[in-house]
């Protein structure tokens, strides 16, 4: 279930769209750079998606630490990707997700499977604190 939920979250995040990822320095092999960029972009897309979902009331933030638990769970599931300028990038992704929610929540109404997958990941993360 963990893998299926993570893949669903990646798919949902990728379908929403986002800014291009930054890549690590040139001292890594090209394949490693591409994988790092892909993991970074997946992670930042998930952060955007999570804040977009919360803003659209797909789930409620009853627990003050829920958002950080969700983000940390996804980060761990990705294998701890190295993200240069992580604090600034994550803060920007949070703002982007919240701004998208302010523009409208039609995405969630038109994609009930996405709502189900997001709620499943919330349940999974809450159980595995």
Is the pLDDT reported for residue 111 higher than 60? yes
Question: 8-42: per-residue pLDDT in tens?
Answer: 555 555 555 444 555 555 566 888 778 777 877 88
Confidence category of residue 82, pLDDT binned at 50, 70, 90? low
* Interacting residues of 65 by C-beta distance below 8 A, sequence separation 6+: none
Q: Is 124 helix (H, G, I), strand (E, B) or coil?
A: helix
Is the pLDDT reported for residue 110 higher than 90? yes
Residue 94 in contact with residue 47, Cβ under 8 Å?
Answer: yes
CA distance 111 to 89: 27
Taking 3-state DSSP, the helix, strand and coil percentages for the chain, each rounded to the nearest 5, stand at: 70, 0, 30
């Amino acid at each position: 279930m963990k893998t299926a939920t993570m893949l669903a979250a990646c798919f949902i995040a990728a379908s929403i769209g986002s800014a291009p990822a930054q890549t690590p320095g040139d001292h890594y092999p090209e394949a490693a750079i591409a994988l790092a960029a892909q993991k970074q972009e997946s992670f930042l897309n998930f952060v955007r998606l999570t804040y977009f979902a919360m803003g659209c009331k797909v789930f409620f933030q009853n627990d003050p630490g829920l958002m950080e638990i969700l983000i940390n769970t996804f980060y761990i599931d990705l294998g701890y990707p190295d993200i240069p300028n992580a604090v600034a990038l994550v803060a920007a992704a949070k703002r982007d997700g919240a701004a998208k929610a302010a523009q409208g929540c039609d995405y969630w109404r038109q994609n009930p499977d996405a709502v189900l997958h997001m709620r499943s990941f919330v349940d999974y993360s809450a159980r595995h604190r």
